Structure 1
């Protein structure tokens, strides 16, 4: 009895990658007038882009809807089977439907066509068969077809789902650029991510203020100032005359004072402080505060109000804890 040779996992994987890469590369020549028309329809949508598809196409459609929504095109996914049992109420004439089906004849998707026509909802289809029912019924058709699947049986959706995913990304990015979508807009859609924190978090959100703000007068002896620094736990203190910021006293100033062997009970903090230190305002981005600290090699910045009065302090540790750095 003979046994088949064991499979080469590496050869199989490399073959799959080559086949799917070739399928994706072939998409480029198909992106033309129909693609541009699809973008125009989606861009002109007053409502939302409703993405639908069955099976693996549905999984890809869910991802496409999420990508559209996070890049400036409001979108959501509707399962075509559920749409036939009540969820059609989620689709309006102001929306635009993006329907995925590799064959272009998926029953659950094709069943929606008369309903979409009655609503007057524009339809963009993405199929692997330009002659299919879904492709012919659409206002714009995107050909995401492949010559063969990466599956050796040519059955399991592999290359075809990859090309559909890439075509969806191409749509999303084309619309992003057409809208002038910015990094700040992206951050607003991703407030929990690192980019969102850097582009949305303001100085006023992370500064220490009120009773937490260390503050001493210029005539305060160094010994008393050290007690204020210790009590507030920021490693520095502002030096304030009335409401006017005179300077700051930091650990660097303390090291220089120790080296000079000064009398901590007789020496005024005003004689040891750093004058005209860097300051920022509440309305600045926290990421900008971090940049200033890094460029000047300092660990704290005083936040000043409109009149130049100190209203808070931002520290490097506080920015790290907020996830900015």
Structure 2
């Protein structure tokens, strides 16, 4: 590979900025043009996949293979069992992974990939349905497939018109469109998505419930309404979340007393030792149920910080816990 710099030196910033914008324009146009082709062939592909008792096998060579792998991963994570098979490896034994109950999505922009055409007769003989994604409707792959999805683009974004760019972007976008249509048709929910993504921050946001991470028992600050203010302050200090929760003898939630409430009391009263917390508490605080997702608690705190804490109460209005923004951070929910 030559190390000689292109006539446009790196100092020519405007040239490269315009080139990058042009690439984005070409690829955006390629994706937008796909909208005119979403019709009966797309619906046929959707019906075939929904009707299969097997899995979706996605295959492709080179850059199309990388796109195929991503499409397979998106399908698998959104409720459609799918996996990628390399077409060259299929000719050397991996074809045994494909059954007559499966659907094969074969990706080749030219529609003439030798590795795919080599296994096409065996796929047809086996009885597997074939959905082709090509840019050439008259190609051998498109003609032999049960359904053809047209991903043709007017031009590639590569200045040399060589590297697959707009075509791979269009193929990937159509694969996403198919996956999202399948997700909707299956009634796939966020809870289902979480079961496919138990690891990392995404899984934590979707799977963790308030009851899993809330403070409870001895960690929970609670005060009776007739307690004197100094007692409430001691409880607040001991439990370290900047508030105490005011409850009756049956743990029925009556209100909260926060460090903000304390500042307001000090502004209005010279003597606080004889004040009772029930007289100066904040009534009807916002609460969350223990069975709610922790992600919902995070949303409530982001929309209305409330000092970065929430009271957790059951359906009868009894205190069961408390949750702080720091608790959500520690669990990887935010």
Q: Normalising by the residue count of structure 2, what TM-score does the alignment of the two structures yield?
A: 0.80
How far, CA to CA, are the matches of 2:83 and 2:132 in structure 1? 16
State the partner residue of 1:277: 285
Question: In the alignment, does 2:308 pair up with 1:308?
Answer: no
- Report the equivalent of 1:208: 215
Equivalence for 1:235: 242
Contact kept, 8 Å, 1:244 with 1:309, in 2: the verdict is: yes
C-alpha separation in 1, matches of 2:298 and 2:72: 35
Query: In the alignment, is residue 120 of structure 1 matched against residue 127 of structure 2?
Result: yes
- Aligned partners of 1:243 and 1:310 also within 8 Å: no
Q: SS at the partner of 1:105?
A: coil
Distance 1:291 1:26, change over 3 A: closer
Q: 1:218 to 1:53 in 2, by over 3 A?
A: same
Q: Tell me the distance in 2 between the aligned counterparts of 1:304 and 1:32.
A: 50
Deviation at 1:26, TM superposition (A): 4.2
Q: Structure 1 residues 52 and 272, CA, compared in 2 at 3 Å: closer, same or farther?
A: same
**Structure 2: runs of 5+ lacking an equivalent:** 9-14
SS of the residue corresponding to residue 170 of structure 1 reads helix
Match of 1:6 in 2: 7
1:252 aligns to what SS in structure 2?
A: helix
Query: Are 1:168 and 2:169 matched, yes or no?
Result: no
Aligned positions of 1:139-150 closer than 5 A: 139-150=146-157
> Any conservation in 1 of the 2:266–2:272 contact (CA below 8 Å)?
no
Normalising by structure 1, report the TM-score.
0.82
Q: 1:247: which partner in 2?
A: 255
SS in 2 for 1:112: helix
Pair 248,157 (structure 1): closer, same or farther in 2 beyond 3 Å: closer
May I ask how many residue pairs the two structures share in their alignment? Answer: 322
**Separation in 1 of the partners of 2:255 and 2:160?**
75
Structure 1 residues without counterparts, runs of 5 or longer: none
Match of 2:11 in 1: none
Q: Hey, what's the Cα distance between the residues in 2 that align with 1:173 and 1:162?
A: 16
After superposition, the C-alpha distances for 1:68-118 in whole angstroms (9 at most, x for unaligned) are 233333322121222233333432332211011122222222222233234
Range moving further from structure 2, 176-185 or 235-244: 176-185
